[in-house]
Amino acid sequence: MSNATAQFSAMTEGTEEDWQIIAREFEAYCDMTPGRVLDHLRILKGDHGGFPIDRLEHSLQTATMAHRGPDGAGGRADHRRL
């Protein structure tokens, strides 16, 4: 990512150059997303908060349940059950 920034104060005033800067920066930011997500998950490891499993394990269990869905076979997840 660079230090370039768009120069408008209202989005309606953005020039093509402004939007090219934003698109470039956004692409670079998106490229780093997987690493940032993994870094945040690593922070959860070892944080038990008194529970038998740490927050990382709990997050992985919850994500697995959501992915499997209400019938446990990969159907649509019901967020109210999580």
Question: Mapping DSSP to helix (H, G, I), strand (E, B) and coil, where does residue 26 land?
Answer: helix
Whole-number Cα distances in Å, 70 to 36, 38, 56, 58: 29, 26, 22, 18
CA gap 39, 50 in Å, rounded: 23
Contact by Cβ (8 Å): 34, 28: no
User: Looking at residue 78, what is its pLDDT?
Assistant: 58
pLDDT tens for the chain, 82 residues long, are 678 899 999 999 999 999 999 999 999 899 999 999 999 999 999 999 999 999 999 999 999 999 888 777 766 655 565 5
User: Looking at residue 69, what is its pLDDT?
Assistant: 84
Length of the chain: 82
User: Looking at residue 70, what is its pLDDT?
Assistant: 79
Q: Give the start-to-end residue ranges of the domains of the chain.
A: 8-33, 45-71
Q: Which two tokens stand for residue 10?
A: 């209202």
